[in-house]
Amino acid sequence: MESISKQLKKMVDENKVFKSGKLLKCILGLNVIESNVFSYILKNDDVTTIELTEVFEKDRSSIQRALIKLNDLGVIEKNSISLKEFSEKDGAGETNKRGYLYVYGAKNLDMIKQQLRDLLDSWYNSMSGYIDNIDSIFDCYEKNGELC
Protein backbone atom coordinates (compact mmCIF):
# COMPACT_ATOMS: atom_id res chain seq x y z
CA MET A 1 0.00 0.00 0.00
CA GLU A 2 1.31 3.41 -0.99
CA SER A 3 1.84 5.98 1.77
CA ILE A 4 -0.42 9.03 1.95
CA SER A 5 2.55 11.35 1.36
CA LYS A 6 3.42 9.49 -1.87
CA GLN A 7 -0.23 9.55 -2.98
CA LEU A 8 -0.50 13.29 -2.32
CA LYS A 9 2.80 14.02 -4.08
CA LYS A 10 1.67 11.98 -7.08
CA MET A 11 -1.66 13.84 -7.19
CA VAL A 12 0.11 17.22 -7.01
CA ASP A 13 2.62 16.21 -9.69
CA GLU A 14 -0.21 15.07 -11.97
CA ASN A 15 -2.30 18.20 -11.20
CA LYS A 16 -5.14 15.97 -10.02
CA VAL A 17 -5.50 17.27 -6.46
CA PHE A 18 -8.84 18.92 -7.04
CA LYS A 19 -10.45 16.48 -9.47
CA SER A 20 -13.91 15.63 -8.18
CA GLY A 21 -13.50 11.90 -8.82
CA LYS A 22 -10.47 11.77 -6.53
CA LEU A 23 -12.32 13.79 -3.89
CA LEU A 24 -15.36 11.49 -4.00
CA LYS A 25 -13.15 8.40 -3.90
CA CYS A 26 -11.19 9.74 -0.93
CA ILE A 27 -14.09 10.97 1.18
CA LEU A 28 -16.98 8.69 0.19
CA GLY A 29 -15.06 5.68 -1.11
CA LEU A 30 -16.74 5.85 -4.53
CA ASN A 31 -15.34 4.03 -7.53
CA VAL A 32 -15.33 5.54 -11.04
CA ILE A 33 -18.83 4.44 -12.08
CA GLU A 34 -20.33 5.49 -8.72
CA SER A 35 -18.67 8.92 -9.04
CA ASN A 36 -19.92 9.30 -12.61
CA VAL A 37 -23.46 8.27 -11.69
CA PHE A 38 -23.46 10.65 -8.73
CA SER A 39 -22.21 13.52 -10.89
CA TYR A 40 -24.90 12.83 -13.50
CA ILE A 41 -27.65 12.71 -10.87
CA LEU A 42 -26.42 16.01 -9.41
CA LYS A 43 -27.01 17.63 -12.82
CA ASN A 44 -30.28 15.91 -13.74
CA ASP A 45 -33.64 15.35 -12.03
CA ASP A 46 -35.72 12.16 -12.01
CA VAL A 47 -33.03 9.92 -13.47
CA THR A 48 -33.96 6.31 -14.24
CA THR A 49 -31.81 3.20 -14.26
CA ILE A 50 -32.51 2.81 -17.98
CA GLU A 51 -31.28 6.35 -18.66
CA LEU A 52 -28.08 5.71 -16.72
CA THR A 53 -27.38 2.42 -18.53
CA GLU A 54 -27.66 4.25 -21.86
CA VAL A 55 -25.58 7.27 -20.81
CA PHE A 56 -22.72 5.24 -19.33
CA GLU A 57 -23.08 2.16 -21.55
CA LYS A 58 -22.96 -0.12 -18.51
CA ASP A 59 -25.10 -3.10 -17.64
CA ARG A 60 -28.12 -2.58 -15.43
CA SER A 61 -26.67 -4.47 -12.46
CA SER A 62 -23.57 -2.22 -12.35
CA ILE A 63 -25.78 0.88 -12.38
CA GLN A 64 -28.05 -0.57 -9.70
CA ARG A 65 -25.08 -1.37 -7.44
CA ALA A 66 -23.87 2.23 -7.84
CA LEU A 67 -27.35 3.57 -7.03
CA ILE A 68 -27.64 1.35 -3.95
CA LYS A 69 -24.29 2.57 -2.62
CA LEU A 70 -25.17 6.24 -3.26
CA ASN A 71 -28.56 5.76 -1.61
CA ASP A 72 -26.95 4.01 1.39
CA LEU A 73 -24.51 6.93 1.73
CA GLY A 74 -27.51 9.27 1.84
CA VAL A 75 -26.45 11.51 -1.06
CA ILE A 76 -29.32 10.58 -3.39
CA GLU A 77 -33.02 9.93 -3.00
CA LYS A 78 -35.03 7.12 -4.53
CA ASN A 79 -38.67 7.87 -5.35
CA SER A 80 -41.37 5.97 -7.16
CA ILE A 81 -43.39 7.65 -9.86
CA SER A 82 -46.29 6.28 -11.91
CA LEU A 83 -45.46 5.39 -15.51
CA LYS A 84 -48.29 7.67 -16.61
CA GLU A 85 -46.88 10.63 -14.67
CA PHE A 86 -43.36 9.87 -15.90
CA SER A 87 -44.50 9.73 -19.55
CA GLU A 88 -46.21 13.10 -19.18
CA LYS A 89 -43.07 14.64 -17.61
CA ASP A 90 -40.89 13.05 -20.27
CA GLY A 91 -42.92 14.74 -23.00
CA ALA A 92 -44.28 11.49 -24.41
CA GLY A 93 -47.84 12.72 -24.00
CA GLU A 94 -50.69 10.79 -22.50
CA THR A 95 -50.28 7.09 -22.10
CA ASN A 96 -52.30 4.21 -20.76
CA LYS A 97 -49.25 2.60 -19.14
CA ARG A 98 -49.76 1.37 -15.62
CA GLY A 99 -47.29 0.68 -12.92
CA TYR A 100 -44.46 2.47 -11.22
CA LEU A 101 -40.88 3.37 -11.96
CA TYR A 102 -38.06 4.36 -9.61
CA VAL A 103 -36.39 7.69 -10.26
CA TYR A 104 -33.34 9.09 -8.54
CA GLY A 105 -32.33 12.60 -7.60
CA ALA A 106 -29.61 14.21 -5.57
CA LYS A 107 -30.27 15.48 -2.11
CA ASN A 108 -29.84 19.17 -1.45
CA LEU A 109 -26.33 20.15 -2.54
CA ASP A 110 -25.67 22.20 0.60
CA MET A 111 -26.60 19.16 2.68
CA ILE A 112 -24.21 16.99 0.64
CA LYS A 113 -21.40 19.51 1.09
CA GLN A 114 -21.96 19.54 4.84
CA GLN A 115 -22.01 15.74 4.92
CA LEU A 116 -18.65 15.67 3.09
CA ARG A 117 -17.21 18.26 5.49
CA ASP A 118 -18.44 16.25 8.49
CA LEU A 119 -16.86 13.05 7.14
CA LEU A 120 -13.59 14.84 6.46
CA ASP A 121 -13.60 16.47 9.90
CA SER A 122 -14.27 13.10 11.52
CA TRP A 123 -11.38 11.50 9.64
CA TYR A 124 -9.08 14.42 10.47
CA ASN A 125 -9.94 14.27 14.18
CA SER A 126 -9.41 10.51 14.21
CA MET A 127 -5.99 10.79 12.53
CA SER A 128 -5.00 13.67 14.85
CA GLY A 129 -5.89 11.46 17.82
CA TYR A 130 -3.64 8.68 16.52
CA ILE A 131 -0.78 11.13 16.00
CA ASP A 132 -1.26 12.65 19.47
CA ASN A 133 -1.07 9.16 21.01
CA ILE A 134 1.60 7.71 18.77
CA ASP A 135 3.86 6.97 21.75
CA SER A 136 1.31 4.50 23.15
CA ILE A 137 1.02 2.74 19.79
CA PHE A 138 4.66 1.63 20.00
CA ASP A 139 3.97 -0.04 23.34
CA CYS A 140 1.33 -2.29 21.81
CA TYR A 141 2.25 -5.51 19.97
CA GLU A 142 0.09 -8.28 18.64
CA LYS A 143 0.99 -11.96 18.90
CA ASN A 144 3.09 -11.99 15.73
CA GLY A 145 5.15 -8.97 16.86
CA GLU A 146 3.47 -6.40 14.63
CA LEU A 147 2.26 -3.05 15.93
CA CYS A 148 -1.43 -2.87 16.88
130 domain-assigned? no
pLDDT, residue 77, reads 93
Residue 96 phi, psi dihedral angles, 5° rounding: -105, 20
Q: 112: Cβ–Cβ under 8 A, 6 or more apart, which residues?
A: 75, 106
97 domain-assigned? yes
28 domain-assigned? yes
Q: Is the pLDDT of residue 14 over 80?
A: no
128 domain-assigned? no
Q: 27: Cβ–Cβ under 8 A, 6 or more apart, which residues?
A: 116, 119, 120, 123
DSSP 3-state assignment of 111?
A: helix
In one-letter notation, the amino acid at residue 125 is N
Task: Give the residue with greater pLDDT, 20 vs 100.
Answer: 100
Of 30, 33, 12, nearest to 22 (Cα)? 30
Q: Which domain holds residue 31?
A: 7-117
CB atoms within 10 A of CB 95: 13
Per the structure, how many domains does the chain have? 1
For 93-136, write each residue's pLDDT tens digit. Answer: 556 677 888 999 998 888 888 888 888 888 889 888 878 877 77
CA distances from 66 to 8, 16, 24, 37, 90 (A): 26, 23, 13, 7, 24
Q: Where are the alpha helices (DSSP H) in 17-108?
A: 20-28, 32-43, 49-56, 60-73, 83-89
For 21-46, write each residue's pLDDT tens digit. Answer: 677 777 788 899 999 999 999 999 88
99 domain-assigned? yes
pLDDT, residue 116, reads 82
Say which DSSP state 45 is in.
S
106 domain-assigned? yes
User: Domain with 16 in it: what CATH number?
Assistant: 1.10.10.10
Q: Is the pLDDT of residue 13 over 80?
A: no
144 domain-assigned? no
For 64-100, write each residue's pLDDT tens digit. Answer: 999 999 999 989 999 998 877 777 666 555 566 778 8
64 domain-assigned? yes
